[in-house]
Each structure stands twice: as C-alpha cells, then as structure tokens.
Structure 1
Amino acid sequence: MNDMSTTDQRMIPANGHAAAFELKGQVEAARFVKGTVKSVKQPLLNLMDEPRGKRASQLLFGERFRVIDERDGYAFGQAERDGYCGYVVSGALGGEEQPSHWVAAPATHLYPKPEIKAPPEVAIFFGSQVKVVADHGDFVKIATGHFVPRAHVQPLKARFSDPVGVADLLLGTPYLWGGSSRWGIDCSGLVQMALLACGMECPRDSDQQRSLGRDLHHGEPYLRGDLVFWDGHVGIMASEDVLIHANAHHMAVAYEPITEARNRFRDSNVGDIAAKKRLKLPDN
C-alpha cells in the first residue's frame, strides 16, 4: 500500500520540516528520518490534513502510526493501515505494541473485571487491535489490564470472506465525514473497513479506491461485492439490485435500491455513475 513513487500528497510522508529517509532525493525537507512507530492509545483518533485541521480519516485503538515529525502537540506521520499521511494529537499515541487480536464485532466494551455486570470503562470499535495477555473463560485480558468478551475478538490473521456481510455489521452507523468506525463512518471508510476485514488491501478515499478491481463490461449485471462509484462517493452492491453505502441522504449506513440511489444522485449535483468495479473476492 505504501508506494513511495506516488505523487499523491496524501501518501507521501513529508511535510517540509521532515520527511521519511527513503524519500531523500525525491522531496525537499529540512531533515530525513527513519521515523518512530507508535500505537494509538484511545478508542478513536482523528487523522487531520493539518494541525487543528479537517478530519481526513480516523485511526483506531491499537493501530500503528509512523511519526515523522512532532511539534506543538501534534505528530505528523503515516498510518500503517493504508499509508495515509496526516497529523494526529501526539498525546493519543504511546509506545509501539505488537497486537495479537482484532475486534471483529461492531464495538466492544473494556471491562475492569471479567464479569458482564462489571461497569465497563470505555468502548473500542470494529478493526481495533489489542494484545491478549491472558485467558479468563468468556473473557480475555488485554495489555491495558482490561477484559474483553472472547466472542468479540479474533486472532490478528483471521479474516471474513464477504465484504457485504462486514458492511452489514455496521448497518445504521451514523454518517461521519472521515469516519472509520461504528461511532461514525463515511462511504469510503465503510468500503475500506469491509475490504480490509476480508484481507483485501484498500486505500482510504473513494478516488483512490477506483483503482481496485476491473471495470464491469457494458450491460454486465451486478454481483454481490461489486463497487459502484459516483464523483466523490462509493457503495457496495449487496445484490444485483441493492446497494449498501454510508451516505448523507440517510445520514447512516443504509441499504438502498441502486435505481433509487442513481436517480437521486442524477437529480443532485453528483451526477451519474462514474465507474463500476468487480473485485477478486476471497471466496472466488
């Protein structure tokens, strides 16, 4: 995912003050560094286009972030998940930790004791990464000292086989520009989380995702798992006729007949479908 030859600024770990050492001779920077890999220590962390800027994406608990430059309470660097670059609040990062499991439920609570009646202290979300350190029956203990229901986590290499089924886990999630979790998600965030959960590489933004798969031939019917793109929007076909997508019309992840979505976008300033792509799915 991390193609250093790209000219996409979202994927280049350089901000003028510092740049990744492998970019020496390719970009201008005051210094070139190897960077320091750190782990996210809070449930969600906004990845911004500049310090105190707009949310471009989000990082999840336990995900790793390569810090290239740090100043004034913000760290600039690159997300391990997809190579996306930006700024995060420095205080939300901690030392690098090697996770062993990931959260495969829409969300899970972190309990102070391995008891379902114990008051949970915080929730983390689908895709978060944890290090399991002990087994406690129906719970596992993670490195923070909290307990997580065993049913909510899977070994790090375990994956789903159906992106639509993953997207369905997030049905009803509020729409949130730049969101990447059950707390809030946008159209390309939903596609990315669905594909990554199935072991398929996927960039963050919808324009980048148009490079995935092959174009559908003229008149070729949709299959479950096909991606449909408009200008600035993407969804996943759940069947030949129905789309699942995070969208601002429903302000949520929702199912919608493709004809209704197409007519609605045509009647707005979005326009008609721009691309239809078929992916090589894990079970194909």
Structure 2
Amino acid sequence: MDYGICMLSLVPMRAEPSDKAEMVTQVLFGECLEVLSKQGNWVQVKLASDGYTGWIDLKQYMPVSAGYYQEWQAAQHPRALDIVQVVSSADMRIPVGIGAYLPFFDGMSLRIDGQSYQYSGRATNPAVPVTTVQLAKLAMGFLKAPYLWGGKSMFGIDCSGFTQQVYGLCGYQLPRDASQQVAVGDEVHFATQTQPGDLAYFANEEGRITHVGIMLEGQQIMHAHGEIRIDTLDHNGIYNAERKRYSHKLRIIKRIFS
C-alpha cells in the first residue's frame, strides 16, 4: 500500500481520472492520503482526514512512509489560521491558506516524514476547547469567499466545504458532503431555538439534502450561496432580503456542540 501527503496549497480531487472531470473536493496542504489505484498520470486516493475518495494528478502529492501515515492518522494537527502564509525550509517556500494542516506543529516548525519545515503564522491549538462564540468568529473569517463547487479555500468554497473547514478549525472533523454531515449531531426542533454553531440543512424538490449553513446569533445563517454570505433563517428556510424571496427550503437543524 502506498501513502502520500499534499505538499501544495490546494490540489483538486476529481470524480474521474481526467482534468476535464468534475472537481469533487480539494486536498489541503499537509493532508495525508492513501493511494488506492493508479491509471496513467492519475492516482485514486482516500483522504486520511474524512475518508473521501477521488482522483488526483500523480505529480501533486509526495510519498510518505506507512509509519508516518499511521502516526499522522493517530494525531490531532494544528491548522493554519491566516488567509495566506508560507511554510518554508532552507530551499523551499510553499504558500498555504487558512485550514491547511500543520503536521506535528510545535509553535515554530512542523514535521513531514522526517523533514522539518518552518511556519510563523497563526495556528489553532487542538488541545484547547473551542466555544460556540469562537466558532462563529472563525466562520466570519470566510465572509465574501466566492462559491466554488468542490472548493475548500478562501478563494473558492462550497457550502459543505465551508462547514467542514470551520468545524475543522475547531478540532472537529465533519464528513465532506452536506448529505453526510446531516447524520451528525442532535436535532434542534425549532428555528427559534438555534444557537451559534448549529448546522441547518436544506433539501431540494426531491427531498435530498443539498445545502448546509452555520447558524449565528439572532436566527442569522452563514452559508455559501454565490459567496459566503449572511441571511435570515425561519421555519420555512433561508430568506434573502436582497432578492426578497426564500432561497433554500429548511429540512432539519442539528447541534454538534452542546
């Protein structure tokens, strides 16, 4: 079995082994992966963080030992908090964005399969519990990020990528897609009972969960709809005041943090 790690700021993961295929998610710097199969210039991989599978260009990851991969899986890693920062060594500078993994970061350096790299930006501390107030503040850091299907960065992000990133910065690993995330947490029965950090889910006409957002104070919801924006939630769904209409139909609200 082969293992690897992402050594670029972002790597597109596609549904099929082709540059023309749909981007289903992005691999973040410092994120480990397991190689499932190879086809030409493509490798099918499974992410160590959330188990998501897809295809990436074989030139866009670095092999690591099985021992390092297992060590990575067993640990909780700090995440980058700056919108853009640099991970560096004596002969290399790598731009990284908010949410990037900083494996075995000690406050100054991180370790990738025996090699040490420097990082001087802000980072999370997985050992310190995060409050719902802090979660909401982290979410606000993504405000105005443009919508991008499959995206997970400040420069392009989708609805479930946004919720996964925010919760990841709080030390909690959500599944990748809204249809998977909805299985996590305890139900909140009324929109008037929401608390900051609750996740609200929305269904299409067929009843399938297709959208998710993070609740803020005062029944406001932050979600990816053209951009990361703030709207109002009631028992019907998300009301867009600018367009004077509902944009999404509410299906269920879940609470992750009590």
TM-score by length of 1: 0.71
Shift of 1:237: 0.7
Q: Identify if the C-alpha distance between structure 1 residues 242 and 263 changes in structure 2 by more than 3 Å, giving closer, same or farther.
A: closer
Question: Are 1:159 and 1:197, in contact at CA under 8 Å, matched by a contact in 2?
Answer: no
Match among 108, 122, 138 for residue 152 of structure 1? 122
Q: Tell me which residue corresponds to 2:99.
A: 127
2:45 pairs with 1:77: yes
Evaluate the alpha carbon distance shift between residue 83 and residue 159 of structure 1 in structure 2; reply closer, same or farther with a 3 A threshold. farther
Tell me the distance in 2 between the aligned counterparts of 1:158 and 1:229. Answer: 28
CA contact (8 A) 2:78 2:105 kept: no
3-state SS, counterpart of residue 35 of structure 2 = strand
Q: In structure 1, which of residues 257, 271, 276 is the aligned counterpart of residue 253 of structure 2?
A: 276
TM-score by length of 2: 0.77
Q: CA deviation at 1:262?
A: 2.1
Check the 8 A contact 2:109/2:116 in 1, yes or no: no
Counterpart of 1:257 (choices 215, 218, 232) is: 232
Q: Is the 1:234–1:245 contact (alpha carbons within 8 Å) kept by the matching residues of 2?
A: yes
2:137 corresponds to which of 165, 178, 184? 165
Flag structure 1 segments of 5+ consecutive residues without an equivalent.
1-34, 114-119
SS of the residue corresponding to residue 37 of structure 2 reads strand
**Inter-partner Cα distance in structure 2 for 1:104 and 1:202:** 18
In the alignment, structure 1 residue 243 sits paired with structure 2 residue 250: no
Segments of structure 2 that go 5 or more residues without pairing to the other structure are 204-209
Q: SS of 2:249's equivalent?
A: coil
- Find the counterpart in structure 2 of residue 185 from structure 1: 157
Q: Structure 1 residues 199, 233: CA separation in 2 closer, same or farther (over 3 Å shift)?
A: same
Which AA in structure 1 matches 2:119?
V
Residues 197 and 215 in structure 2, CA contact (< 8 A), matched pair in contact too:
yes
Residue 142 of structure 1: how far off its partner (Å): 6.7
Assess, with a 3 A threshold, how the Cα gap between structure 1 residues 219 and 267 changes in structure 2: closer, same or farther. Answer: closer
Residue identity in the other structure for 1:73: N
Superposed counterparts of 1:27-42, under 5 Å: 35-42=1-8
Q: Deviations over 1:60-86 (max 9, x none)?
A: 111011001012111102111111111
SS in 2 for 1:38: strand
Q: CA deviation at 1:263?
A: 3.5
Contact kept? 1:134, 1:142, Cα under 8 Å? no
CA contact under 8 A between 1:105 and 1:169: conserved in structure 2?
no
* Alpha-carbon separation, structure 1, partners of 2:187 and 2:244: 21
> Could you tell me which of 84, 90, 110 is aligned with 1:107?
84
Amino acid of the structure 1 residue aligned with 2:215: M
3-state SS of the aligned residue for 1:263? strand
* Equivalent position SS for 2:36: strand
Deviations 1:198-217 (A, max 9, x none): 22231111111111212222
Alignment partners' CA distance in 1, 2:173 and 2:110: 29
Task: Tell me by how many angstroms 1:122 deviates.
Answer: 4.5
Q: Is the 8 A contact 1:43 1:125 kept in 2?
A: yes
* C-alpha contact (below 8 Å) 1:142/1:148 kept by paired residues: no
The structure that has the greater radius of gyration is 1
- State how far apart, in whole Å, the 2-side matches of 1:210 and 1:276 are: 8
Q: Does 1:44 align with 2:19?
A: no
CA pair 217-266 structure 1, distance change in 2 beyond 3 A: farther
Residue in structure 2 matching 1:92, options 44, 60, 63: 60
- Is contact 1:160–1:166 with CA below 8 Å preserved after alignment? no
Describe the SS at the equivalent of 2:16: coil
What is the root-mean-square deviation in Å for CA atoms of aligned residues?
A: 3.1
